[in-house]
Structure 1
Amino acid sequence: MLFSDMKQLTIKAEDGLLLSATLFETEAPKALVQIIHGSVEHKERYYEFAQYLCDHNYAVIISDNRGHGASVNTQYPLGFMDGVDQIIADQYVISKYICLLYPEIKLYLFGHSLGSVFARCYLRKHDDQIAKLVLSGTVHYNPFTPLGIMLTKAAIAISGKHAYNKLLRDAVMNNDDLSWLSENKENIEAYKADPLCGFAYPNSSVLTVMQGVQQLKESKHYQFKNNNLHILSISGKGDPVTGGTAGLRKSFRLLQRIGYHNFEQIVFPGMKHEVLNETNRLEVFNSVLYFFEQD
């Protein structure tokens, strides 16, 4: 598939890491959309969705999270993350970049899977930077997360940040059986064949994921400056990552505890985790567009 209006960028993070990003440009955009991708994947998997939004007059930016795709160096090789706060700082740098390009234009944030965790962590300090939030494949809070953090810190103390622990790794991402990922078999095969997908997370990255999930529950640490934030959750009916109806309900309760109250939810039948890559994904694209078009 060919993508027009696309510009490749490198944006310097606070610590000097060059974040690889792609900007889908349009003149006089209705709004700006910043996309945060999920675990063990990369930005290119969102190009079709980004082009769709751009075709409807939205400027879109998506970066590879550090340790993913092309946002790597010797200190941050593929798969390595070193704390959730650093990931959020990177995303804030991306926000500032696109908002400088398009001043006075509203910014919407879209996060898929682990990106939905990072997007909610972004709210802690920066909810006043965005007007709308879309959570895709909305990860729910796991009550065993504190135990997981304790065990992962112990593993780091014993074997180091860069070591691998299969038990801990599988606790946050099981790539042995990908049937949960999608109803679209072609999507699963493409994921398996992609060298920038499905790689293993070392201990430090496992801890980063768990820290992000734990922050979902720490409502007192959210500054809560934007009580008008409009939030949409989209997920597949067959997605185990959300925790089902009960898990989605708990996710909304945690947001309500912070103070947010303006929620919408769409659960798509016949879909699993990657709703943007299902065969009938246009239905999902249209639903997100409709949400963005609302006043």
Structure 2
Amino acid sequence: MMVESARPGFCHGILKPMKLQQFHTQKDPRATVLIAHGFAEHSGRYTQLIRQLTSHGFDVVIYDHHNHGTNIDAPKQKACVDVEKLIDDHLKARNEVANTKRTSALVLLGHSMGGLITAASALQHPHGIQGVILSAPALKLGNAMPKPVMKVARQVAKLLPRLGTASIPPEQLSSDEYVQRKYVEDPLNYVGKVPLLSASTMFAEGQKVLENKDQWPLWVPLLAVQGTADEIVNPAGTRELVKSAERRGVDVQYREVAAGRHEVLGPPNDVETTPLILAWLRHLSEEL
């Protein structure tokens, strides 16, 4: 399944079509889960989670964001993205999945930048989704510069989109040293400095989500998980969205992973978060 994603702009060459990967459960499918991965990583890092989901009766669809994983315009463009355009891509992916899925229910799951993309997608077009799962969504950046500075950075990024900002140390991803080493050694990951275009647009789109948080659709349940020791994104952004949804009467479940770093879906925190996600999805599918 392929979705054309041609768009002009800096950090873009001749674009490859966005390839959606489908994984079908061998059981009667309960729901379809569309996964959006995080910044600088790729869809292949979700193999274990996909196996868990399919083994418990859920179909899964995932893809590599533009300039991530196998969807790279050119080596120098790796991880250089306009997050607003990635949100557009997500909406296109949702449309394609809606037309081909085997189930009546579609659930969106996103981690980090993918969590930001998922939240923005749900706010922009809330219809056709039955639930949302956010893992450490990048609504507020951990070391974000003041808003006026980031606005200037957005303008500078038009001229120098690949200008490096801060690096993300692998020890901030997980407390598991094996996970840290595998991340750095994975050739499909990006381990350099965050391009200015990526940082500034991530900041801007996170601001938009929080500015519109009171518009979270009342009929879309939300599960959010967040590590308390996350230095890559600011946990306050997740809490702000969750509290707003709770005040409005949205069915919300929020779990903070004590001492959890950024990747709460992976080791060592997956022993806590995977059963939580599976239980939430089972309950959701039973209610539909």
TM-score, length of structure 2 as denominator length: 0.83
Matching residue of 1:125: 124
Q: Distance in 2 between matches of 1:17 and 1:163?
A: 20
2:41 and 2:68 in contact (8 A); partners too:
yes
Q: More deviation in 105-114 or 276-285?
A: 276-285
Determine which of 12, 17, 30 is the counterpart of 2:4.
Answer: 12
* Structure 1 counterpart of 2:188, from 196, 199, 204: 196
Gaps of 5+ in 2: 8-14
Which of 231, 248, 251 is matched with 2:222 structurally?
231
Distance 1:52 1:43, change over 3 A: same
1:261 Cα shift?
2.5
Residue from 242, 265, 276 that aligns with 1:276 = 265
Aligned equivalent of 1:65: 65
Hey, what's the Cα distance between the residues in 1 that align with 2:227 and 2:146? 24
Structure 2 residue matching 1:234: 3-state secondary structure: strand
In 1, the alpha carbon distance for the partners of 2:46 and 2:52 equals: 10
Aligned residue number for residue 187 of structure 1: 179
CA gap of 1:39–1:21, structure 2 versus 1, over 3 A, is same
- The runs of 5 or more residues in structure 1 that have no matched partner are 1-8
Q: Distance in 1 between matches of 2:154 and 2:259?
A: 39
Aligned-pair distance for 1:14? 5.5
C-alpha distance in 2 between matches for 1:58 and 1:114: 23
Task: Classify 1:221/1:264 alpha carbon distance in 2 versus 1 (closer, same or farther; 3 Å).
Answer: closer
Paired with 1:77 and 1:290, the residues of 2 have a C-alpha distance of 39
* 2:198 matches 1:205: yes
1:186–1:85 CA distance, 2 compared to 1 (3 A): same
Q: Does structure 2 retain, via aligned residues, the 8 Å contact 1:182–1:274?
A: yes
Counting aligned pairs with the same residue, the percent is: 22
Pair 1:256–1:79, CA change in 2 (3 A): same
The aligned counterpart of 1:147 is: 148
- When the two chains are superposed, the root-mean-square deviation of aligned CA atoms in Å is 2.7
Whether the 8 Å CA contact 1:33–1:110 is kept in 2: the answer is yes
Task: Please show how residues 24-35 of structure 1 align to structure 2 within 5 Å.
Answer: 24-26=23-25, 28-35=28-35
SS in 1 for 2:120: helix
Work out which of the residue numbers 197, 209, 220 in structure 2 matches 1:216. Answer: 209
Distance 2:90 2:177 in 1: 31
Residue aligned with 2:126, SS? helix
Letter in 2 for 1:273: H
Distance 1:104 1:133 in 2: 16
- Aligned mates of 1:180, 1:200 — CA distance in 2: 14
- TM-score w.r.t. structure 1 length? 0.82
